Amino acid sequence: MLRDLPGFDRRGWRTGFTNYRFAIPELAGRHGRAIYNDVDQIYLADPGLLFDLDMGPHGYLAISPEDTSVMLIDCAGMAPVWNLGEARRTDKDTLTRRAASTPERWGALAPGWNARDQEYVAGQSGVLHYTTLHLQPWQPFPAQYSYHPHPLAELWLELERAADAEGYRIFTRTRPSARLAETLARHRGPRPAGGGTPAPVDETLSRLARGLGIQSVLHCRVGGEPPTGAEIAAPVDVLSFDLASGAPWPEAPADAVVATDLLERLPIEDVPWVVDELFAHARRLVLAVVDVGGARRLPPGTARWRRVMAAAGGRHPKLAWRLDVRRRRLIHGWETVSFGSRPDDADAGAPPRVWTLLGEREGDNAQIRGLAEALGWPAEAKRLTFTRNYKLWNLLLGASLLSLDRGHSAALDAPWPDLVIAAGRRSAPVARWIRTQSGGRSRLVHIGRPWAPLGSFDLIVTTPQYGLPQRPNVLHNALPIVRSNAARLAEAGVRWTPRLAALPRPLVALLVGGDSPPYVLDPGTAERLGREAADCAHALGGTLLVTCGPRVHAPASEALAVAARGPGHFHRWRPDDPDNPYLAYLALADRFIVTGDSASMLAEACATGKPVSIFPLPERADWRWRTTRRVQRWVERRQARRSVRGTVRQQDWIGRLWDRLVELGLIKRMRDLTRVHRVVEARGEGAGAPDDLERAVARVRQLMRERPI
């Protein structure tokens, strides 16, 4: 990695490495080949294939003469133009134009070696370039942007999870960053007078020591004076370790490891491995205090420290941990935000008390039940019925039962639950009321969007259609939670196999949802859908199967049946129909066409692992949401403006303000299922359902461990 090279004036650079690329020919000895990549890219193919390309007479290959974000460089051929001296004194644009102006110096690189955002093609692109800063999955600038999930974020996240599972670290104790030595030298020696205030860990650790049986403490720091035992906790044995001293890490573990004046003083790239060392040296507890000084506010830096501690805690589930992040306020003194996690066996034999709040929408209820069943804890279902007050703004309802029909709903009484799982707009005030009654002990997990301040919930499990911004308590899944019942699918398949056995294969199942605001299935759209689905089945030499949901009105159903030109089977929905073929289609069909109004139906089709196509439905011209829709579309168009390079411009203050209003519950973004469609299409045909349910279960379990200790 090219970083902090001497002799460069980086003022005016768009990045911290802008001109370093032009020094590569000389740094490589002016011979051989070199590959250059920007830092916001991932390889999806062997880079050796890029390295071995035929360059012909060219000095460098790139997708255009001016786009040097991915290059294959002939170092001997480019050294006269791009060398260390020129890179230090000449700006990027001049160096790029100088190289591009010479005939045959530039050669075209196949677009797949620099696929920018939506240029990605599954199975063909060798390098994916995340060019839009506020969509980059690793969120490099949380203080400057309000991040949203990238449609292709899962490609990055899958690589990250695989690396984490292997215990991969770029920097380790034996291989720290180049900046660490300089940082430690700066903090070596006694702390200057007035150089800081001792972290208030004595009272916290004393309480934890009594509860966890702690008798020995390892105090880790960078610089400063070692504390005495009385300054930390009593009565315990205290061993102090100064990372800046150059001494090796202690070999023997301690009951508790306490870190003060440590993490905030390290280069950010060294923090993960140092936290791993803290956990490796602890038997029962890791307590870290991070002092962010006079920071304007604790988030978003708080989320960064919390993620690092939670990740290490997940690798050491038998340890308790606590994180205190504090800042110094001018008038009110110290402000501290604390997070903690109990060990997995802290409450052995006593699973959490879980309530599921079930409403009128069976799609929401299915997701609630699916998550509760996957958690494996006993859950008590609370069926809720609402009055017309549910139409009031959730900000006005707050944490209350003002919209609940208490006479027709399940009783909500103590003992209060440890965990509440809910979905949809109507249940949000009730869930918040339950937490208030529990004294703040109940944890709230909301599926979808709450139409309320996002910070009012411990975890929100959402999907792209709702357009919620990235926040520490928001889990963005690709698709809604579905927990397929293999036994029910198999039973339906056995029952329907004789009825479908004579039909020519492949069987193409058309799953039709129907009207679902803001989408509408009118007769004209239904006629086009039937015609195109029939053409698809006929082109494959197979048979079309059609099933309509309860939201398909009779005129649309009739138009669809006529246009489908005699499908192998056509099902119109009827209430309490024992012969509904939906599950049989999922079990027996070879491929699916799904209308774009239902993310849940799309998730169930993807879960089969068979090819899935999406038929988008038009939006309804609904006057009630017209103004909101226009404003939202204006904001989205503004955020999607293209730069001269063809990439999306970076998020501006209007986009950040809009997200802040959404976060506070002041604005409800309109549902946009095309976002879900893009995620599914990016995964490729037949990719199957992502492991969204497993991730949601892991986050909820982590949430329940992160209780005060």
Same domain for 374 and 325, yes or no, is: no
- Helix, strand, coil content of the chain in percent (nearest 5): 35, 20, 45
Q: How confident is the model at residue 198 (pLDDT cuts 50, 70, 90)?
A: very low
Q: Is the pLDDT of residue 688 over 80?
A: no
Burial 410-436 (b: 16+ CB within 10 A, else e): eebeeebbbbbbbbbbbbbbbbbbbbe
Same domain for 362 and 270, yes or no, is: no
The structure tokens listed for 283 are 């038997």
- Digit-coded pLDDT (tens) for 521-577: 999 999 999 999 999 999 999 999 999 989 999 999 999 999 998 778 999 988 877
Same domain for 313 and 379, yes or no, is: no
Same domain for 256 and 285, yes or no, is: yes
Do residues 411 and 384 make contact, with C-beta atoms less than 8 angstroms apart?
no
Q: Does 168 map to a domain?
A: no
Same domain for 447 and 396, yes or no, is: yes
Amino acid, res. 338: S
The structure tokens listed for 2 are 């090219």
Q: Taking the chain, what is the end-to-end CA distance rounded to the nearest angstrom? A: 41
Average pLDDT value for the chain: 87
Q: How confident is the model at residue 197 (pLDDT cuts 50, 70, 90)?
A: very low
CA distance 425 to 442: 19
Residue 582: predicted pLDDT: 92
CA distance 560 to 548: 10
Do residues 413 and 430 make contact, with C-beta atoms less than 8 angstroms apart?
no
Same domain for 276 and 378, yes or no, is: no
Residue 438: predicted pLDDT: 95
Q: Is the pLDDT of residue 228 over 70?
A: no
Q: Does 541 map to a domain?
A: yes
- Digit-coded pLDDT (tens) for 264-286: 999 989 999 999 999 999 999 99
Residue 295: predicted pLDDT: 58
As a three-state string, the secondary structure of 560-594 is HHHHCCCCCEEECCCCCCCCCCHHHHHHHCCEEEE
- Our CA angle for 511, 512, 517, nearest 5°, is 135
The count of other CB atoms within 10 Å of the CB of residue 143 is 10
State percent of the chain over pLDDT 70. Answer: 91
Range 358-374 average pLDDT: 91
Residue 71: predicted pLDDT: 97
| CA atoms within 13 Å, Cβ hemisphere of 463 | 30
Residue 194: predicted pLDDT: 44
| CA atoms within 13 Å, Cβ hemisphere of 344 | 9
Q: Which residue among 476, 501, 531 closes a domain?
A: 476
Kind plus residue range of the DSSP H or E element containing 459: strand 459-462
Q: Is the pLDDT of residue 300 over 60?
A: no
Task: Report the CATH number at residue 598.
Answer: 3.40.50.11350
Do residues 660 and 146 make contact, with C-beta atoms less than 8 angstroms apart?
yes
Compute the CA torsion angle 40, 43, 47, 50 (nearest 10 deg).
Answer: -80
Q: List the domain range (segments joined by +) for residue 41.
A: 20-129
**Residue 254 β-bridge partners:** 282
Same domain for 69 and 208, yes or no, is: no
Do residues 637 and 631 make contact, with C-beta atoms less than 8 angstroms apart?
no
CA distance 194 to 418: 44
Same domain for 491 and 467, yes or no, is: no
- Digit-coded pLDDT (tens) for 478-521: 888 887 778 889 999 999 999 999 999 999 999 999 988 888 99
Least confidently predicted of 109-113, 461-465, 576-580: 576-580
Task: Report the CATH number at residue 29.
Answer: 3.90.550.10
- Digit-coded pLDDT (tens) for 104-138: 899 999 999 999 988 898 889 999 999 988 999 99
CA distance 124 to 689: 21
Q: Which residue among 593, 615, 637 closes a domain?
A: 615
Range 608-633 average pLDDT: 79
- Which residue, among 426, 458, 425, 454, has the nearest Cα to 443 in the 3D structure? 458
**Cis peptide bond upstream of 378, omega within 30:** no
The structure tokens listed for 45 are 């193919």
CA distance 241 to 217: 11
Q: Pairing between strand 216-221 and 237-242? A: parallel
Q: Is the pLDDT of residue 682 over 80?
A: no
Kind plus residue range of the DSSP H or E element containing 518: none
Q: How confident is the model at residue 621 (pLDDT cuts 50, 70, 90)?
A: low
Please state the φ and ψ torsions of residue 124, each to the nearest 5 degrees. -120, -35
Q: Is the pLDDT of residue 169 over 60?
A: yes
Q: Does 108 map to a domain?
A: yes
Residue identified by tokens 């306490």 is 258
| Residues in contact with 660: Cβ distance below 8 Å, sequence separation at least 6, in sequence order | 146
Q: Does 214 map to a domain?
A: yes
Q: Which residue has the higher pLDDT, 561 or 619?
A: 561
State percent of the chain over pLDDT 90. Answer: 53
Q: Is 190 exposed, middle or buried (0-12, 13-18, 19+ CB in 10 A)?
A: exposed
Separation in Å, CA 112 to CA 65, 96, 137: 16, 22, 20
Residue identified by tokens 């030298």 is 185
Q: Does 48 map to a domain?
A: yes
Residue identified by tokens 């409403």 is 359
CA distance 624 to 627: 8
The count of other CB atoms within 10 Å of the CB of residue 254 is 23
Amino acid, res. 422: A
Task: Report the CATH number at residue 448.
Answer: 3.40.50
Separation in Å, CA 248 to CA 81, 174, 245, 251, 281: 47, 11, 9, 8, 13
Residue 122: predicted pLDDT: 83
Q: How confident is the model at residue 684 (pLDDT cuts 50, 70, 90)?
A: low
Q: Which residue among 555, 588, 615 closes a domain?
A: 615
Question: The pTM is what?
Answer: 0.84
Do residues 233 and 217 make contact, with C-beta atoms less than 8 angstroms apart?
yes
Same domain for 191 and 305, yes or no, is: yes
- Our CA angle for 281, 284, 289, nearest 5°, is 75
Q: How confident is the model at residue 196 (pLDDT cuts 50, 70, 90)?
A: very low
Q: Which residue has the higher pLDDT, 196 or 333?
A: 333
Burial 257-286 (b: 16+ CB within 10 A, else e): bbbbbbbbbbbebbbbbbbbbbbbbbbbbb
CA distance 506 to 643: 45
Same domain for 322 and 213, yes or no, is: yes
Q: Does 632 map to a domain?
A: no
Q: Does 148 map to a domain?
A: no
**Cis peptide bond upstream of 351, omega within 30:** no
Residue 257: predicted pLDDT: 94
Same domain for 453 and 513, yes or no, is: no
- Digit-coded pLDDT (tens) for 6-60: 889 888 787 788 899 999 999 999 999 999 999 999 999 999 999 999 999 999 9
- Which residue, among 45, 46, 47, 49, has the nearest Cα to 36 in the 3D structure? 47
Range 282-293 average pLDDT: 90
CA distance 61 to 73: 7
Q: Does 688 map to a domain?
A: no
What's the domain count of the chain?
4
Separation in Å, CA 646 to CA 65, 149, 365, 389, 530: 14, 20, 43, 48, 37
Q: How confident is the model at residue 401 (pLDDT cuts 50, 70, 90)?
A: very high
Do residues 305 and 289 make contact, with C-beta atoms less than 8 angstroms apart?
no
- Which residue, among 116, 96, 100, has the nearest Cα to 40 in the 3D structure? 116
Same domain for 304 and 367, yes or no, is: no
Separation in Å, CA 593 to CA 44, 309, 324, 528: 29, 44, 51, 13
Q: Pairing between strand 443-447 and 459-462? A: parallel
